[in-house]
Structure 1
Amino acid sequence: MSTLRTASPVHSAAHSAAHSPVLFADLFAAEWIKLRSLRSTFWAAAFTALFVIGSALVTALTDHSQQLIVLHDAFPPTGYLTLMLAAGSVGAITAVSEYSSGLIRTTTVAVPDRGSVVLAKAAVLAAAWTVLGTVIAAASFGLSQTALNGWHPSFPITHPHALQALVATALLGPVCALIGLGLGVLIRHSGATMATTTFTLLMLPPIFSSSTRWSADVRNAMPQTAWNRLVQDWDPSPTDTFHLIATVTGSWVTYAAWPLIAVALAVLTVRRRDV
């Protein structure tokens, strides 16, 4: 009887601990540890930052003798297409690495609510890439502005087009990272996820032309097209084929819709899937 009386409180405490709710802050901290523990995360972030900022500086120095506007030099497509690929890949790796290593089974045992795990991953990715994207965008704009100083009219950060381009560029990383995360959860295979992410973010938009309405609508609904439109420093005139050109409002909607849909589908999928 004494043995039973001694074991009962211990069993009760263990049972209570096993069923105690997990705070979202704990999940966020755990996912942050996972993200920063991946060596690929650091190298991807460092390489992306150096390449994108360097491409902005090189473009500004190359184009200083031409009548180009500083916003085009601050946010060159070559650099930011690389950022899209890096962010999407890191987002995908965040999901598929757990499936390939088998860690997902340990995670689901510790946290039965798989939807919360995906949301924590999404929150960590969004926060990390927003910070990195802001640093990259600000550095690209500042260095290109400095390089072109004295050659072309300056664009202060308070200029509507400059601020719009800066915000859109800073948010490009988290948008692509969350898309990669969603695809990673849905596909769960490293090679297939990387290929699908690359195709969706970089290769799919150029397939659709702006010559016809339906094709232009599909093209305008892509994150890459939305970013291109938001960093432009002009507005179409009434004589232009405006209905075939992405609008600023539509581009912001595209920015919001893609990551929200990707994360929502990921949450629904993991809640219906066994593992």
Structure 2
Amino acid sequence: MTTAALTAEPRARLADLVAAEWIKLWSLRSTAGTLLLTALAVLGLNVGTAWDQVRYWDVMPPADRAEFIAEGLSLMTAYTSNGAMVLLLAVGAWGAVTVTGEYGTGLIRTTFVAVPARGSVMAAKALVVAAVATVFGALLAAVSFWATQAQYAGQHAGVTIGHPGALRLVVASALLAPVAALTGMAVGALLRHSAFSVVAATVLLLIVPAMLSTRRHWTAVFANAMPYRAWSTLTERPDIAALQPYPATHGGAWLVLACWAAAAVLVTALAVRHRDQ
């Protein structure tokens, strides 16, 4: 093939790259299995918490039952903190594997030979992963909200999506999935090793926030800048938030989630530009 022919070869379009990454993503056996098990685990934790409360409803004092209904406390089981942590752990690990899996098989070399524009390849991969994670997170948050509130139907204690804070909780819980997936991708692009990347993503998304105290100013600043704490800010009850000495704002929490997603995509794209493969 002549030099002129090589020069005239058209560059890969973003749509072609996205289509290729879509095929590669679903060719990973871990994709469907991880998402399915994650959904079952999160729903089990959330619905199980609601079921446990309903189970002991009759032994609650009448005053407590009246307060539970008046305050809409059933909303607190719509997406529990345990469910959020499982989601961060599982989806963050999955996001890392979407990158490290290609390094492990050597497919990444073939991809970069076919498409030398490495940044474009990783941007397409991030777009596909973010889209799948967003749809997954939205469906999981919606089903969790519906299933948990349905548990309280017999006690007339459930809330609707129009209840104060309900829509915010559902949206924040839905967005936690793409933020976790993209963060895992960024870690995977930096470390390029599945086991190390999964551990590092877990430390970053779960262990670090747990180690940061919200009782001191500077550690509270860093804690509020973590995805898990941002989600907590958007979903916790106002009376609980008022007890925090250095509370975050809802606007700041939305900004944290957006910045983590944007920074993760940038790191993923830049991490592969000047490396051997």
Q: TM-score, normalised by structure 1?
A: 0.89
What's the Cα RMSD here?
A: 1.9
Note the C-alpha offset of 1:169. Answer: 0.6
Distance 1:236 1:140 in 2: 22
Q: Is the 8 A contact 1:71 1:231 kept in 2?
A: no
The residue matched to 2:153 in structure 1 has which SS? Answer: coil
Note the C-alpha offset of 1:14. Answer: 5.3
Q: TM-score, normalised by structure 2?
A: 0.89
5+ residue gaps, structure 2, are: none
2:126 corresponds, among 122, 144, 154, to 122
Aligned length: 263
Match of 2:237 in 1: 233
Match of 2:18 in 1: 28
Distance 1:158 1:38 in 2: 39
Of stretches 227-236 and 97-106 in structure 1, the one that deviates more from structure 2 is 227-236
Match of 2:6 in 1: 15
Spell out the pairing of 1:20-59 with structure 2 (5 A cutoff): 20-59=10-49
Q: Which structure is larger by alpha-carbon Rg, 1 or 2?
A: 1
Matched, 1:184 2:184: no
1:169 corresponds, among 160, 167, 173, to 173
Distance 2:156 2:82 in 1: 22
Note the C-alpha offset of 1:12. Answer: 7.5
Q: Is the 8 A contact 1:71 1:233 kept in 2?
A: no
The residue matched to 1:157 in structure 2 has which SS? Answer: coil
Spell out the pairing of 1:1-275 with structure 2 (5 A cutoff): 11=2, 15=6, 19-64=9-54, 65=57, 69-151=73-155, 153-234=157-238, 240-241=243-244, 244-275=246-277
Note the C-alpha offset of 1:213. Answer: 0.3
Give the direction of change, closer, same or farther, for the CA distance of 1:233–1:190 in structure 2 (3 Å limit).
same
Note the C-alpha offset of 1:149. Answer: 1.7
Distance 1:23 1:109 in 2: 16
Note the C-alpha offset of 1:237. Answer: 7.9
Distance 1:117 1:190 in 2: 19
Q: Is the 8 A contact 1:71 1:232 kept in 2?
A: no
Please tell me the residue identity of whatever aligns with 1:156: T
Match of 1:5 in 2: none
Distance 1:248 1:14 in 2: 56
Note the C-alpha offset of 1:150. Answer: 3.8
Deviations 1:116-156 (A, max 9, x none): 11111111111101111111111110011110124254322
Please tell me the residue identity of whatever aligns with 1:35: L
Give the direction of change, closer, same or farther, for the CA distance of 1:62–1:185 in structure 2 (3 Å limit).
same
Percent identity reads: 44
Distance 1:98 1:173 in 2: 22
Please tell me the residue identity of whatever aligns with 2:218: W
Note the C-alpha offset of 1:158. Answer: 2.2
Distance 1:235 1:178 in 2: 32
Please tell me the residue identity of whatever aligns with 2:189: V
Distance 1:59 1:14 in 2: 64
Deviations 1:184-225 (A, max 9, x none): 101111121111100011111110111110011111111011
Please tell me the residue identity of whatever aligns with 2:11: P
Note the C-alpha offset of 1:16. Answer: 5.4
